[in-house]
Each structure stands twice: as C-alpha cells, then as structure tokens.
C-alpha cells in the first residue's frame, strides 16, 4: 500500500487531537493496534425493523466484519436512515435524496478508508450509492438478497400477485380470510421482493455496474451463500483500499451502458431509469433518458422472471444467476470494464454457466424479443415518458383512446369504481399530480387499478398514463414518469376528459390530439399546482427536486465533494 491511509488523519495524529480520536474509540473496548495503520472500513448499514426487507442486516454485517478482520482491516459499522418501501409514508422516494445526503456526509466526516454498502429494499440501494459516489472512496456493495418464493395453496406467489389479489378482493373472488393466509404465504422469509421488482433490479444494477462481487444479485437472503458473499466482500474491500480502486474507476460510462443492457435482459424495473440517471449525475458520467432506449432497443428479454415472466429470483439464482444472463449478453457488453473484485466483466463471465434454459434463455432464442425501457416523446411528454413493453399488452402498443382524467390520486380513488364513470376498455386512464414536485415524492401509483365495471367485463389491461412511478413488481400498459409533470403546468397538466390520446410504442411517441392553439389557451388559464410551501425537508425537496427525466435528484447534490476534510474542531 503506497498511499497514506485517510483514517490516519484521525488515528495517526499526535498530541491532543490524536488523544481524543483514539481514546474515545478505546472506550468501546477496542485495542490500540486496531486503528494504528489498519485500513478502517465503514459498514453502512440500513438495518431497521421498519424496513423488513433489511431486517437481517445486523447478521449480514457480522459476516462482512469477519471478512474485513480476516484481511487485516478494522470494521466500523454505522447506521443511516433506512427506507422501507412498505411502511414509509407518503412514499420512500421522497426520502431517497435525504438518505443520500446522510450517507455522503457520514462517510466524508468520519475516519474511513473504504466502505461496504449494505443495500436491500428498493431505495436503500440508489440512495447509498449516490451518497458514496459524492465522496468516492473504495466502495463495495453487498445486497441483502431476495425472499424465498412464496407458496400459497399449491401456487408460487410473489409481490406481483398483490395486484392480482387486489382485483380479486374488489371483485369478491377473494375473502379477507384468504388474504390473511396469502400474506403469510408470501412473506415467508427474510429478504426483499422475490420478483424482478425494483430491489432485484437494483441488485442486478449493482452487479452489472461492477460494484459487487459476481453472484451478488440473485443469491436468496435465506441462502447460506449470501453470508459467504458478505464475508468475501469484507475481505475484498480491504484489498480495494490497498489498490486504491475508487468508485469512479468502476463507474465509467461503459459500466452504465452495461447496466442498461443487463436491466433490459432481466426485464428490470422502470425505477431503474430514475436511479441510474441520479447515480450517473453524482459521478459526473453523461447519461440521458434517450440512452436507455438506444442501448436496450436491440436487447431481448432473457430472464423469465415475474412481472415480465413466470419465475422468481430464487429460480434465477439456481439457473446460474446474473452471470449466466450476462454471459449470453457478452457480445453486447463492454467486457473490459473493471469490477470490484479487480477483474473485468469479461474475466468474471468466463466461469458463468446456465443450468436452466427455461429461466435464462439463450440470446438467439430469447424468452421475449421485446425488452427494456422505451422512451416516449410527444406533445404529451415534451421531456419524455417511459414504458416497459415486456410487462405490457402487445395489442395496446399502438392505441388511440379517449382520456378519462383524474386530477389527483384522491380523485381517482373516489371515482374509479363509480358505475356512472364514462369509461370503456378503449379509454386511456390519466392520473395527474403524482410527480416529484406535485405529490411530492413521486409515489408508485402509476399502475392504477382497472374500473370495477370493466373488470367485471373481463378487461385485464388498459393504457394508463401518469407523471408518477410504478412499483417494479407492477405490470400493464402503463406509461410513467411524464415530464414535465402536471404540477409544472405543461401540456400534461391541461389534458381533459374526452381528449384523444395516441400511444405509439414502436414509433416512440405519445400525442395529445388537441390543437396547439387550444392547449395554449388552456395553459394560460391554469396556474401551476404546487403543494406547499411546507417546512423542513419537504420544503427543500419541492424546491430542489429535478424532473424524472433527469433522475429526480437535487440539482445542488450533483457531482461530488471528494473525501478530503481540511478542518477539524479540536
């Protein structure tokens, strides 16, 4: 190790300052030799009993610590705010940027030479990576792993089934007692959602970016090999510090391209777009919404995993995991990218193998030729909107229909099941004011339910458009992330009941068939509908958050401030 350890700016100091730094560590019962010259590795832990997906992280951290100590490092675990998707109101996304600030400042302010990020539930991954990028120390990610596949009355189930159960309950096909049983059958182990939802997509993103050891994406949380990976990651981060392998060495433009290609092949979440844009913004890599479409347009869907397919994350792991998917993609990937284990993507893929072609299909005989994220533009989404074709209905990919407009989620809930609602299967449901500023926080409300009277007629999908997001576990012909959002007063804000909308996914367009003159007139009479001003963090959020097409980060958080701290207080 050539360079001086950053932590020695604390523990290696002479005089009063050094006394204070060391003495208070010793008060925890830690001997002097632990922090004299050993790499100090922070373990950023999102453990919380309010984040059930990450509730096993204290145990996982113990495995990481074993690896760090084994390699001659000194582990220090620290907490950050944890975002549990299921319990946090109004939406975990509102706090993603807040956590990224917590992570950034916690790392920079403390004596760390390297960092292990323990990520699991959806937002815990991008928030930690965004924060770490703005400091840029050697960093490795350990994901928590997915739940075991749910089993309900002889059937495999996962989070995507919640949307189906919801329709069954509304239609009286499922009783409350059935529901109680199904809840326990689905959440039967530790870990995050077992389908290719946002958490699994984030775990795949981490591995395809090169931020973790191979296999990180798919090992189930309950599988003993998850702990082995955690221990090996602890071992490896100490070496990364010695090699001075920084986040910015791994996170090149080519690495981002690999992540987009991999996300397409696994049928990853639309939320991936927003989070990857935000991460790129922190490391200063140019990445635009259009890149997602350009890079994934020729990539077929290889992983037969819900919600785009049939199987679960556990099955993906047994079939060979993400390395087996990426091996199929090797002619599309930038295989010379360096990864956390010091090897290139290409070297890591040499030993990858597929054990089940039903779950990971070969690239020349894909599970579905359609994959990825399609970026739509037009006068209804001047700065773009997205759709995930693999989770949508083929017959709705080109569709023209009359808008049925809901001004807010409360308006939607009040009227959607009204028998008098003027809606048929060709209508286009439009939900406004669920964008980043307008809600605020851009909740996952985009895959709004089908009206009860249409469900009774056997309608299972309709075109739905909003400025919000959709759970990665959701499905349907759902256009999301309309930018600019309704609260900013663009064309989307003045769409009315009965306006004709034309969706053309192959043509990448989303049009409102209303003359420009009429749109201008409507906009003149409408004032922007912003919540607030509010106070505290929410006020800051509404003021600073950018649009979904830019990653919904705060403008002032883009880039980084490095790891240097030049002033101290003693």
Binding segment toward ligand FES, per CB under 6 A, in 190-198, 297-305, 411-419, 443-451: 190-198
Q: Which x/- pattern, by CB under 6 A, does the window 3-42 give for ligand FES?
A: ----------------------------------------
Token representation of residue 358: 């039903």
Helix (H, G, I), strand (E, B) or coil at 465: strand
| CA 475 to centroid of chain Cα atoms | 16
Binding segment toward ligand FES, per CB under 6 A, in 57-65, 191-199, 210-218, 223-231: 191-199
CB of 237 to ligand FES, least distance (A): 24
Beta strand 155-157 with 74-79 is unpaired
Tell me: does residue 539 bind ligand FES (CB under 6 A). Answer: no
CB of 54 to ligand FES, least distance (A): 8
d(CA 361, CA 346): 20
Nearest to 388 by CA among 474, 281, 285, 287: 474
Q: Which is nearer to ligand FES, 124 or 139 (CB)?
A: 124
CB-CB contact of 345 with 333 (8 Å): yes
Instruction: Using CB under 6 A, pick the residue from 86, 379, 509, 531 that binds ligand FES.
Output: 86
| CA 544 to centroid of chain Cα atoms | 21
CB of 159 to ligand FES, least distance (A): 6
Q: Which is nearer to ligand FES, 159 or 390 (CB)?
A: 159
Q: Please report the DSSP string for 86-103 in residue order.
A: TT-SS-GGGGHHHHHHHH
Q: Which is nearer to ligand FES, 121 or 273 (CB)?
A: 121
Q: Which secondary-structure segment (H or E) carries 466?
A: strand 463-466
Q: Which secondary-structure segment (H or E) carries 419?
A: none
How many other C-beta atoms are found inside a 10 Å radius of the C-beta of residue 24?
Answer: 10
Q: Which is nearer to ligand FES, 159 or 339 (CB)?
A: 159
Instruction: Using CB under 6 A, pick the residue from 96, 192, 227, 469 that binds ligand FES.
Output: 192
CB-CB contact of 339 with 210 (8 Å): yes
Binding segment toward ligand FES, per CB under 6 A, in 129-137, 189-197, 222-230, 286-294: 189-197
d(CA 299, CA 372): 7
- Whether residue 431 has a cis bond before it, omega within 30° of 0: no
Q: Which is nearer to ligand FES, 77 or 85 (CB)?
A: 85
Tell me: does residue 314 bind ligand FES (CB under 6 A). Answer: no
For tokens 């993400």, name the residue.
322
Instruction: Using CB under 6 A, pick the residue from 41, 88, 148, 199 that binds ligand FES.
Output: 199
Q: Which secondary-structure segment (H or E) carries 291?
A: helix 289-296
Q: Which residues, in sequence order, are CB contacts of 168 under 8 Å at separation 6+? A: 174
CB of 223 to ligand FES, least distance (A): 17
Q: Which residues, in sequence order, are CB contacts of 365 under 8 Å at separation 6+? A: none
CB of 61 to ligand FES, least distance (A): 18
Q: Which is nearer to ligand FES, 121 or 478 (CB)?
A: 121
Tell me: does residue 122 bind ligand FES (CB under 6 A). Answer: yes
- First-to-final CA distance of the chain: 29
Q: Which is nearer to ligand FES, 192 or 558 (CB)?
A: 192
Write out 1-62 in H/E/C secondary structure: CCCCCCCHHHHCCCHHHHHHHHHHHHCCCCCHHHHCCCCEEEEEECCCCCCHHHCCHHHHHH
Tell me: does residue 119 bind ligand FES (CB under 6 A). Answer: no
CB of 470 to ligand FES, least distance (A): 13
Q: Which is nearer to ligand FES, 52 or 131 (CB)?
A: 52
CB of 86 to ligand FES, least distance (A): 5
Instruction: Using CB under 6 A, pick the residue from 60, 193, 429, 495 that binds ligand FES.
Output: 193
Instruction: Using CB under 6 A, pick the residue from 5, 40, 41, 53 that binds ligand FES.
Output: 53
CB of 143 to ligand FES, least distance (A): 11
Residues that bind ligand FES (CB under 6 A): 53, 85-86, 121-122, 159, 192-193, 197, 199
């Amino acid at each position: 190790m050539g360079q001086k350890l950053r932590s020695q700016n604390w523990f290696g100091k002479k005089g009063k300052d050094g006394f204070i730094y060391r003495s208070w560590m010793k008060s925890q019962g830690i001997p002097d030799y632990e922090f004299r010259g050993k790499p100090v590795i922070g373990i950023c832990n999102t453990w919380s009993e309010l984040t059930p997906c990450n509730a096993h992280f204290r145990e996982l951290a113990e495995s990481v610590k074993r690896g760090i100590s084994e390699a001659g490092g000194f582990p220090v675990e620290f907490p950050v705010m944890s975002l549990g998707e299921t319990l946090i109101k109004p939406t975990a996304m509102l706090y993603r940027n807040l956590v990224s600030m917590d992570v950034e400042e916690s790392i920079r302010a403390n004596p760390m030479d390297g960092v292990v990020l323990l990520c699991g539930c959806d937002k815990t991954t991008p928030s930690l990576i965004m924060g770490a990028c703005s400091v840029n120390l050697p960093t490795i990610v350990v994901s928590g792993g997915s739940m075991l596949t749910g089993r309900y009355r002889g059937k495999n189930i996962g989070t995507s089934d919640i949307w189906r159960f919801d329709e069954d309950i509304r239609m009286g096909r499922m009783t409350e007692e059935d529901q109680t049983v199904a809840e326990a059958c689905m959440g039967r182990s530790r870990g995050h959602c077992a389908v290719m939802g946002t958490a699994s997509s984030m775990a795949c993103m981490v591995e395809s970016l090169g931020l973790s050891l191979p296999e990180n994406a798919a090992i189930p949380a309950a599988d003993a090999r998850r702990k082995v990976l955690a221990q090996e990651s602890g071992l490896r981060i100490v070496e990364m510090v010695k090699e001075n392998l920084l986040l910015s060495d791994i996170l090149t433009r080519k690495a981002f391209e690999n992540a987009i290609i991999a996300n397409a092949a696994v049928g990853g979440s639309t939320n991936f777009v927003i989070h990857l844009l935000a991460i790129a913004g922190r490391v200063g890599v140019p990445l635009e919404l259009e890149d997602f479409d350009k890079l994934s347009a020729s990539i077929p869907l290889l992983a037969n995993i819900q919600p785009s397919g049939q199987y679960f994350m556990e099955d993906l792991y047994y079939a060979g995991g993400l390395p087996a998917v990426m091996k199929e993609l090797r002619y599309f990937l930038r295989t010379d990218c360096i990864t956390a284990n010091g090897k290139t993507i290409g070297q890591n893929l040499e030993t990858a193998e597929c054990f089940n072609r039903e779950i990971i299909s070969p690239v020349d005989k894909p599970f579905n030729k359609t994959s990825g994220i399609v970026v739509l533009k037009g006068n209804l989404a001047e700065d773009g909107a997205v759709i995930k074709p693999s989770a949508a209905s083929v017959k709705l990919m080109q569709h023209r229909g009359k808008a049925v407009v809901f001004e807010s989620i409360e308006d939607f809930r009040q009227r959607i099941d009204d028998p008098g609602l003027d809606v048929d299967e060709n209508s286009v449901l439009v939900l406004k004011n669920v964008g980043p500023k307008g809600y605020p926080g851009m909740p996952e409300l985009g895959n709004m339910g089908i009206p009860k009277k249409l469900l009774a007629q056997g309608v299972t999908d309709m075109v739905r458009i909003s400025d919000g997001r959709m759970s990665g576990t959701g499905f349907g012909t759902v256009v999301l992330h309309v930018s600019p959002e309704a609260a900013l007063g663009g064309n989307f804000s003045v769409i009315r009941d009965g306006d004709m909308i034309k969706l053309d996914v192959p043509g990448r367009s989303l049009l409102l068939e209303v003359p420009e003159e009429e749109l201008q007139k409507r906009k003149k009479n409408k004032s922007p509908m912003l919540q607030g001003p509010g106070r505290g963090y929410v006020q800051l959020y509404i003021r600073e958050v950018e649009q979904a097409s830019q990653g919904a980060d705060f403008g002032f958080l883009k880039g980084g401030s490095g790891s240097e701290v030049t002033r101290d207080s003693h």
